[in-house]
Amino acid sequence: MEKYRIGIDLGGTKIESVLLSSDRKEVYRKRVPTPAGNQYDLIIKAVYEQIRTMTEKIHGYSDFSIGIGIPGAVNKETGLVHNANTTCLIGKPFQSDLETLCGKKIAMENDANCFTLIESLEGAGKGYGMVFGIIMGTGCGGGICINGNIWSGANGIAGEWGHFSMDPGGRPCYCGNRGCIETKVSGSGIEASFFEKFGNRLKMKDIVEGFRQNDEPCKTIFNQFMNDFGRALGGLVSALDPDVVVIGGGLSNIDEIYATGVEQVRKYAFHKNIKTPILKNRLGDSSGVIGAALLNG
């Protein structure tokens, strides 16, 4: 009997959904913008709408699972969301609210964990024991898989390297600390750094382009980004010593990360000759949605 899998990846700027058949073929994929305004009721409605669209594709077929990746974690005891950079989810029973709407059990995991899972099973992390997956996009997340299984950690935040406070004088972070890695090594963080230093707003892609065109302000901010990336990931590799690091999210498409960025990581790691492969994802920068679809085993 055919069993379908619905995967949803709720991100800061987009909600991606996918429908997989029993043999894991992608039957349908859709991407819609995340409702603006950080409002819980709008977000839950938008996610439910995606689930409904997917179930309509299988015409009310009963045997299907739903897995959702969220930019945060669900507390296993209370069922409430915590550590979410889509802050309206914090303290909300997002999973059970959606289960009520759908009349069905739903699996829910941190989005970076979903990304790490799929890259570990079928992507750039395949064949490695401990995979550290990074999502550098609007925010900066991370997840750990050991031998193809998500390692959630005692508090459900394993791999969340984005919230090491690197700079006590840095910008406030939504988590309550200042100068978190996420405020420096993420699209939104780098754009904010540019604005703070030069007083005009430039998009991440324009900063990268400006760097490549030798534009001085863009070079300053981009080089700082490479340095911050190296210090942050160098420290993390020293602490965790994973077998491989796999990078996803929009920033993973910046080629300089795998050259200058990796040099910086090596420079700041405790062991100067670390050989840890630091790789671009193999399944696309938004492959986490497939990981979400596989959450139910």
End-to-end CA distance of the chain: 17
Query: Closest CB to Zn ion among 101 and 192?
Result: 192
Query: Closest CB to Zn ion among 175 and 251?
Result: 175
Q: How far is the CB of 228 from Zn ion (least distance, A)?
A: 14
User: On the CB side of 103, how many CA atoms lie within 13 Å of its CA?
Assistant: 4
- Name the phi and psi angles at 271, rounded to 5: -100, 115
Q: How far is the CB of 202 from Zn ion (least distance, A)?
A: 23
Name the residue among 118, 114, 76, 117 with its Cα closest to residue 95. Answer: 76
Q: How far is the CB of 163 from Zn ion (least distance, A)?
A: 4
Query: Closest CB to Zn ion among 29 and 171?
Result: 171
Q: How far is the CB of 71 from Zn ion (least distance, A)?
A: 13
Query: Closest CB to Zn ion among 166 and 173?
Result: 173
Q: Provide the mask over 106-125, with x wherever binding to Zn ion is found by CB under 5 A and - wherever it is not.
A: --------------------
| CA–CA distances in Å: residue 206 to residues 136, 261, 264 | 17, 19, 23
Helix (H) or strand (E) holding 145: strand 140-146
DSSP 161: G
For helices 204-212 and 216-240, angle between their N-to-C axes, nearest 10 degrees:
110
Q: How far is the CB of 182 from Zn ion (least distance, A)?
A: 5
Tokens of 206: 């324009």
Q: How far is the CB of 170 from Zn ion (least distance, A)?
A: 10
Query: Closest CB to Zn ion among 44 and 140?
Result: 140
Give the integer Cα–Cα distance in Å for 231 and 211: 20
Query: Closest CB to Zn ion among 91 and 284?
Result: 91
Beta bridge pairs of residue 145 = 131, 150
Would you say 28 and 290 are in contact if contact means Cβ atoms under 8 Å apart?
no
Binders of Zn ion: how many residues, by CB under 5 A? 5
Under rule CB under 5 A, which residues in 158-187 are in contact with Zn ion?
A: 163, 173, 175, 177, 180
Q: How far is the CB of 173 from Zn ion (least distance, A)?
A: 3
Query: Closest CB to Zn ion among 15 and 236?
Result: 236
- By CB under 5 A, is residue 294 in contact with Zn ion? no
Tokens of 220: 């300053």
Would you say 186 and 140 are in contact if contact means Cβ atoms under 8 Å apart?
yes
Q: How far is the CB of 207 from Zn ion (least distance, A)?
A: 22
Neighbours of 271 (CB within 10 A): 12
11: helix, strand or coil: coil
Q: Provide the mask over 124-163, with x wherever binding to Zn ion is found by CB under 5 A and - wherever it is not.
A: ---------------------------------------x
For binding to Zn ion (CB under 5 A), which residues are involved?
163, 173, 175, 177, 180
